[in-house]
């Protein structure tokens, strides 16, 4: 048993001592005595402090002492002392699309996880596939484990490709003041969709853009210019990239007010044109990833994972009049919107210096350096409940004359 | 336990008061010959002055020897002496039974009553007593006979103070009495008592107000919950904080009471319970104290 806030124990003891003292100095009604001239005594509350040789109201004193002690113990937050080991591990498992085989990576991670160690995930499939989120989760886990180990070892299971790092990864890594063990797994290979299928009318201006884009190597992408049908969903379920790009987005996802916006961006593609913004992308219960934004930051296209493929909703209206569909910027936009699920990843192996910084040769992190986190102990809640009951009992036991 | 007094208890007091007189404050009305200066002049042997004879004077009062020697007609004027009927009214309300254990205030009242009666009786004055006891007053009619003191002592010792008997009715029944001494703590019907006393004074009665104060009232013990025995609903905490306030208020009330009685024409004397009764009787019977002569 240990106390997370032991100062409260001293405070509780002081309060208990004060309480006993108060019972010696109880204000009590003086002993009645006849005095014919009592009328000349000021009429104030008929109580006077008096010093007793023994504490008064012993039962009341005991109840109050128990309440004070219970409150002191509750605030001191008693906790069972966890089993302490010299070293515990925090294993960060990269579960992003950069990993070739999720099961293989999981097996590799589990090989490092022993009893009392912690496994945290990083780079969920539909999110940015970097290790930053996993490192933050590892630091949180270290805070929880700081009382259970002398040192903490960080194990990172990842393919360690360029996509595994972003601008914040290095800074976050420095928050773990100790070395890390890097366990490399196979990186995925990513190919661009080979063919773009456009299901739409013959006068669809987007047809010209797709035609100018030409063929690509990789999986197939399908653009539907209306709401997707059952076959389209099956296509996405099979690993395809389904792009739901209504010809008139305002009729499918109507916007309350229609306005114009000057540009739209997706990845490296920027299209500057007087777009009419007449649609708002529908909210989704599934995690979504914005893949295109209007110039004012409003998402213009989102992606959500669907089985092994993905579905993208695009709310960009392509004007039928003008040469916008023929511009190179428009072709790059279509290329981005029909790219691989999750965006194009840089799957090249990370630089050796980056890996060295990630490894950070040196001693393991002492557990006490992990930031402390407030811990809730069940005993505190029970003790507070007991104190509340005792205070209720105190009200019941209090002499009627002394009640307010 | 209430103290009981008998005539023998007062032996030392009576011995120490032997020879003490209680002269009237002003000339007494004509009556039986006694020791007090009378308003009537003429027939006694105590010569006062000569006055020229005027038509209508009784020729028997002419000083014939002087007329023979000087051939001038003068009347021989002498002062008469009269007795002064004295009634002592003793307050027997419950507040006089204080302190609870000794009843010192009541005991002092009894001693003063017997002492004053003895002094008056020693001057040949008829003396009586009225004890405002419950359920009805006990009284000894004013007499000069020898056993009246013992009778007064017996009446005083016949019962303890009890209840909240009023003094005023007893005073109202004494109209025409030449001298009345009221022994009380004046904690009851003080205003009505004073009104009745003024009526007596206006009728020519000499009124002595003896204010009895217990030492324990002047210096009460604290802390206690002071309870008025006559009004149990009055319960006040007498503690360190309230004691000085109480003492100031009580002193102010005593000062005001004395001033009010004196202003009404009464002879006011304050007697504390621990003062020897003989000395207190001498103070009461002696010359009228000044307005500031309130003893504590």
Q: Which residue has the higher pLDDT, A294 or B4?
A: A294
The residues pairing with A21 across neighbouring beta strands, listed in sequence order, are: none
Test mutation, B103, B221, B225, chain A, max A CBs within 10 A: B225
Q: Say what the alpha-carbon torsion angle B244, B245, B248, B249 is, to the nearest 10 degrees.
A: -150
pLDDT of B80 strictly over 80: no
Rg (CA), chain B: 23
- Cis peptide leading into A293, omega within 30 of 0? no
CB A260 within 8 A of CB A276: yes
Average pLDDT over residues B96-115: 93
Query: If phi over 0 gives left and psi between -120 and 50 gives alpha, with beta otherwise, what is residue A116?
Result: left
Q: pTM for the complete prediction? A: 0.48
Here the ipTM equals 0.81
DSSP string covering A183-247: EE-PBP-----S-EEEES-TT-HHHHHHHHH---SSS-EEEESSS--HHHHHHHHTT-EEEE--S
Banded model confidence at residue B150, pLDDT cuts 50, 70, 90: very high
- CB contact residues (below 8 A), chain B span 216-255, against chain A: 216-217, 220-231, 234-242, 245-246, 249-250, 253
pLDDT of A62 strictly over 60: yes
Record the tokens describing residue A169, joined without a space.
């990864």
- Cis peptide leading into A233, omega within 30 of 0? no
- Cis peptide leading into B223, omega within 30 of 0? yes
CB B128 within 8 A of CB B140: yes
User: B228, A38: Cβ pair inside 8 Å?
Assistant: yes
Give the pLDDT confidence score for residue A285 in this predicted structure: 74
Rg (CA), chain A: 35
- Tell me the pLDDT tens digit for each residue of A265-284: 998 899 999 898 888 888 77
CB B84 within 8 A of CB B37: no
Please state, in angstroms and as integers, the Cα–Cα distance from residue A223 to each residue in A216, A313, B81, following that order. 15, 10, 148
Which of B151, B131, B127, B147 is closest to B139 using CA atoms?
A: B131
Residues in chain A: 404
Give the pLDDT confidence score for residue A31 in this predicted structure: 81
pLDDT of B79 strictly over 80: no
DSSP string covering A3-60: ESSTHHHHHHHHHHHHHHHHHHT-EEPPPEEE-TTGGGS----S-EE---SS-S-HHH
Backbone angles phi, psi at B142, to 5 degrees: -60, 125
Strands (DSSP E) found in A295-378: 299-306, 309-314, 365-366
pLDDT of A109 strictly over 70: yes
A34, A43, A44 ranked by CB distance to B98: nearest: A34
The residues pairing with A158 across neighbouring beta strands, listed in sequence order, are: A184
Give the pLDDT confidence score for residue A404 in this predicted structure: 46
Q: Say what the alpha-carbon torsion angle A271, A275, A278, A282 is, to the nearest 10 degrees.
A: 0
A38: which chain B residues are within 8 Å (Cβ-Cβ)?
Answer: 226-228, 234-236, 238
CB-based burial, A247-275: b 16+ in 10 Å, e otherwise: bebbebeeeeeeeebebbbbeebebebeb
Say how many C-beta atoms besides its own lie within 10 A of residue A337's C-beta: 24
User: A42, B239: Cβ pair inside 8 Å?
Assistant: no
Give the pLDDT confidence score for residue B70 in this predicted structure: 92
Give the pLDDT confidence score for residue A252 in this predicted structure: 87
Q: Which residue has the higher pLDDT, B287 or B121?
A: B121
CA distance B225 to chain A (A): 4
* Residue A281 to residue A293: CA distance in whole angstroms: 11
Which of B149, B141, B139 is closest to B116 using CA atoms?
A: B149
Give the pLDDT confidence score for residue B91 in this predicted structure: 93
Q: CA of A40: which chain B residue's CA is closest?
A: B246
Interface check B256 vs A, CB under 8 A: no
Give the pLDDT confidence score for residue B215 in this predicted structure: 94
* Residue B132 to residue B193: CA distance in whole angstroms: 12
- Tell me the pLDDT tens digit for each residue of A156-207: 999 999 888 888 999 999 999 889 999 999 988 766 566 788 877 778 888 8
User: B238, A29: Cβ pair inside 8 Å?
Assistant: no
Q: CA of A45: which chain B residue's CA is closest?
A: B237
Give the pLDDT confidence score for residue B245 in this predicted structure: 93
Record the tokens describing residue B278, joined without a space.
């003989």
User: What pairing do the DSSP bridges indicate for beta strands A2-3 and A78-79?
Assistant: antiparallel
User: B98, A36: Cβ pair inside 8 Å?
Assistant: yes
Give the pLDDT confidence score for residue B2 in this predicted structure: 45
* Residue A101 to residue B277: CA distance in whole angstroms: 120
Give the pLDDT confidence score for residue B107 in this predicted structure: 93
Banded model confidence at residue A26, pLDDT cuts 50, 70, 90: low
Percentage, residues of chain B above pLDDT 70: 85
Record the tokens describing residue A391, joined without a space.
């205070």
Give the pLDDT confidence score for residue A45 in this predicted structure: 67
Please state, in angstroms and as integers, the Cα–Cα distance from residue B60 to each residue in B56, B75, B76, B77, B178, following that order. 11, 9, 10, 12, 31
The residues pairing with B128 across neighbouring beta strands, listed in sequence order, are: B87
């Amino acid at each position: 048993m240990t106390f997370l806030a032991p100062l409260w124990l001293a405070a509780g003891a002081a309060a208990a001592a004060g309480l006993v003292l108060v019972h010696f100095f109880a204000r009590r009604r003086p002993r009645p005595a006849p005095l014919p001239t009592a009328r000349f005594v000021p009429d104030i509350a008929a109580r006077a402090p008096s010093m007793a040789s023994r504490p008064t109201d012993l039962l009341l004193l005991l109840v109050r002492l128990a309440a004070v002690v219970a409150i002191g113990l509750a605030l001191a937050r008693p906790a069972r002392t966890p089993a302490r080991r010299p070293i515990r591990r925090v294993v960060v498992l990269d579960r992003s699309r950069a990993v070739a085989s999720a099961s293989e990576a999981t097996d590799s991670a589990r090989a490092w996880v022993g009893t009392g160690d912690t496994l945290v995930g990083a780079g969920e499939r539909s999110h940015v596939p970097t290790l930053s989120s996993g490192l933050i989760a590892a630091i949180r886990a270290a805070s929880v484990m700081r009382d259970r180990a002398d040192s903490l070892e960080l194990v990172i299971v990842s393919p360690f490709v360029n996509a595994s790092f972003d601008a914040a990864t290095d800074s976050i890594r420095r928050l773990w003041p100790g070395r890390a063990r890097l366990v490399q797994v196979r990186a995925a290979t990513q190919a661009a969709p080979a063919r773009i299928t456009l299901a739409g009318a013959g006068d669809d201006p987007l047809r010209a853009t797709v035609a100018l884009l030409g063929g690509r190597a990789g999986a197939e992408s399908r653009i539907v210019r209306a709401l997707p049908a059952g076959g389209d969903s099956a296509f996405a379920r099979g690993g395809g990239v389904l792009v739901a790009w209504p010809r008139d987005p305002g009729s499918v996802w109507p916007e309350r007010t229609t306005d114009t916006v000057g540009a739209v961006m997706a990845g490296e593609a920027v299209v500057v044109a007087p777009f009419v913004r007449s649609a708002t992308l529908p909210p989704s219960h599934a995690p979504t990833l914005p893949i295109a934004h209007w110039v004012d930051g409003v998402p213009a296209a989102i992606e959500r994972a669907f089985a092994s493929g993905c579905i993208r909703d695009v709310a960009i209206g392509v004007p039928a009049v003008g040469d916008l569909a023929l511009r190179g910027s428009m072709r790059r936009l279509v290329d981005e919107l029909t790219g691989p699920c999750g965006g194009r990843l840089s799957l090249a192996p990370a630089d050796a210096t980056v890996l060295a910084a990630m490894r950070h040769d040196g001693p393991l992190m002492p557990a006490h350096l992990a930031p402390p986190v407030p811990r809730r102990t069940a005993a505190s809640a029970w003790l507070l409940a007991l104190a509340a009951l005792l205070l209720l009992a105190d009200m019941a036991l209090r002499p009627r004359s002394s009640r307010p | 336990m209430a103290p009981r007094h008998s005539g023998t208890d007062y032996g030392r007091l009576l011995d120490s008061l032997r020879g003490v007189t209680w002269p009237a404050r002003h000339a007494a009305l004509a009556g039986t010959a006694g020791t007090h200066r009378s308003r009537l002049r003429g027939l006694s042997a105590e010569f006062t002055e000569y006055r020229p004879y005027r038509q209508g004077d009784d020729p028997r009062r002419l000083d014939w020897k002087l007329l023979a020697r000087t051939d001038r007609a003068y009347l021989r004027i002498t002062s008469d002496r009269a007795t002064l009927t004295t009634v002592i009214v003793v307050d027997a309300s419950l507040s006089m039974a204080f302190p609870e254990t000794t009843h010192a205030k009541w005991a002092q009242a009894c001693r003063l009553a017997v002492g004053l009666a003895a002094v008056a009786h020693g001057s040949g004055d008829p003396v009586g007593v009225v004890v405002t006891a419950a359920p009805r007053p006990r009284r000894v009619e004013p007499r000069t006979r020898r056993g009246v003191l013992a009778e007064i002592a017996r009446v005083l010792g016949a019962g303890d103070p009890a209840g909240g008997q009023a003094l005023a009715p007893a005073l109202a029944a004494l109209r025409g009495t030449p001298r009345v001494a009221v022994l009380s703590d004046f904690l009851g019907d003080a205003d009505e008592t004073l009104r009745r006393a003024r009526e007596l004074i206006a009728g020519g009665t000499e009124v002595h107000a003896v204010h009895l104060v217990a030492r324990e009232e002047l210096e009460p013990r604290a802390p206690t919950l002071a309870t008025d025995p006559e009004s149990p609903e009055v319960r006040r905490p007498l503690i360190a904080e309230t004691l000085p306030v109480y003492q100031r208020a009580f002193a102010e009330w005593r000062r005001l009471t004395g001033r009010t009685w004196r202003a009404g024409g009464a002879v006011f004397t304050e007697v504390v319970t621990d003062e020897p009764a003989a000395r207190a009787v001498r103070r009461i019977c002696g010359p009228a104290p000044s307005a500031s002569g309130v003893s504590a």
